[in-house]
């Protein structure tokens, strides 16, 4: 295992550095003193283009790679664009993982998602639940791509003894999230809707589904911390769950976001919208046993994210 933190001048390529996760990882690495980060926007390097990815890796020769570029979205986007979710993600991860190996990258961390697990899995969900049952239909295309990413890392480790690892984050939120009204995840979607209702003086806000599904939320700064921790402290075949252990129903989340934003009207539930997985609390004890624990509470994280969102709207 090559130490990651020992040399802050190592060339580290963070793919997807302008997204929710990538931007938090870059912030964390810069705080730690890393001076040689390689960052390319989607426009500068489209990771679905195999020959462009090959040329980039051959020219740049990064020493470490953190793969946080992906086609990402909430339940509606996943359900509406299945072809894009499976094809784009398979292409990005295959190109980046293979080129990393070919060009002598010392270690790569691939990010999956808690949606890789069966729709109905024993809770909290351990890493061993992978491929033990049918997936949640609203995001099975994305999940299949993510499972292929885990398996690709495992295969390259097995065949080439290459240090390729995978982290499986739970539902994330924080600064630089996607606040699109339909295609985003629940937390930014509700923050935007409550904010706009507060500003316009609307009496009601529509929330999707029944409110009964349970979700576990992790602040993206905690995830960035965990990513650096895994780069330094973990090598192995098994993918690693990264959760907070903080589980709420969507109804509880909606009430909390409403309070943080300061909207005083009513919630209206649109049960024509899908609930998705009923519950997906991950068992993150493998990471805890290695010595990593999250720090940000959901309430503090929401306050921090709303503060960021209000500033972002002024830009």
Q: Please select the residue that binds ligand F7E; options are 118, 174, 213, 243, rule is CB under 6 A.
A: 213
Which residue among the candidates 101, 117, 142, 234 is catalytic per the annotation? 142
Instruction: Write out the binding residues for ligand NDP, residues 73-132 only, by CB under 6 A.
Output: 92, 111, 113
| Residues whose CB falls within 8 Å of the CB of residue 281, separated by 6 or more in sequence, listed in order | 123, 124, 125, 214, 216, 243, 245, 247
151 makes contact with ligand NDP (CB under 6 A): no
Q: Please select the residue that binds ligand F7E; options are 47, 97, 115, 261, rule is CB under 6 A.
A: 115
User: Tokens standing for 232?
Assistant: 């330094």
CB of 314 to ligand F7E, least distance (A): 23
> Catalytic residue at 101?
no
CB of 302 to ligand F7E, least distance (A): 14
* Angle (deg, nearest 10), helices 250-261 and 298-314: 50
**Count of residues in contact with ligand F7E, rule CB under 6 A:** 27
Starting at the earlier edge strand, list the strands of the sheet with 107-111: 37-38, 12-15, 64-67, 107-111, 163-169, 240-242
Which of residues 97 and 197 has its CB atom nearest to ligand NDP in the complex? Answer: 97
Which of residues 197 and 305 has its CB atom nearest to ligand NDP in the complex? Answer: 305
CB of 138 to ligand NDP, least distance (A): 14
186 makes contact with ligand F7E (CB under 6 A): yes
Stretch that binds ligand F7E, among 97-105, 202-210, 256-264, 284-292 (CB under 6 A): 202-210
- Catalytic annotation, residues: 142
């Amino acid at each position: 295992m090559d130490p990651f933190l020992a040399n802050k001048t190592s060339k580290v390529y963070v793919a997807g550095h302008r997204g929710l996760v990538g931007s938090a990882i870059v912030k964390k690495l810069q705080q730690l003193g890393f001076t040689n980060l390689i960052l390319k926007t989607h426009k500068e390097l489209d990771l679905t283009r195999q020959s462009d990815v090959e040329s980039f890796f051959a020219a740049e020769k990064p020493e470490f790679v953190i793969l946080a570029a992906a086609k990402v979205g909430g339940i509606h986007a996943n359900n509406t664009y299945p072809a894009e979710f499976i094809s784009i993600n398979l292409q990005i991860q295959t190109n980046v993982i293979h080129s990393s190996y070919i060009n002598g990258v010392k270690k790569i961390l691939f990010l999956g998602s808690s949606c890789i697990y069966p729709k109905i899995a024993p809770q909290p969900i351990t890493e061993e639940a992978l491929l033990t049952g049918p997936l949640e239909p609203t995001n099975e295309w994305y999940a299949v791509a993510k499972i292929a990413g885990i398996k690709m890392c495992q295969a390259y480790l097995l065949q080439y003894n290459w240090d390729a690892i995978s982290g499986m984050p739970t539902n994330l939120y924080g600064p630089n999230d996607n606040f699109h009204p339909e295609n985003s995840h629940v937390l930014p979607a509700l923050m935007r809707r409550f904010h706009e209702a507060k500003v316009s003086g609307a009496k009601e806000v529509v929330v999707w589904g029944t409110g009964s599904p349970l979700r576990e939320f992790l602040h993206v700064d905690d995830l960035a911390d965990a990513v650096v921790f895994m780069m330094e402290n973990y090598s192995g075949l098994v993918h690693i769950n990264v959760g907070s252990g903080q589980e709420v129903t969507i109804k509880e989340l909606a009430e909390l976001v409403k309070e943080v934003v300061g909207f005083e009207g009513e919630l209206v539930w649109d049960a024509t919208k899908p609930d998705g997985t009923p519950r997906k609390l991950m068992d993150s004890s493998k990471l805890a046993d290695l010595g990593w624990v999250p720090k940000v509470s959901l309430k503090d994280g929401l306050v921090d994210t709303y503060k960021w969102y209000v500033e972002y709207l002024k830009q």
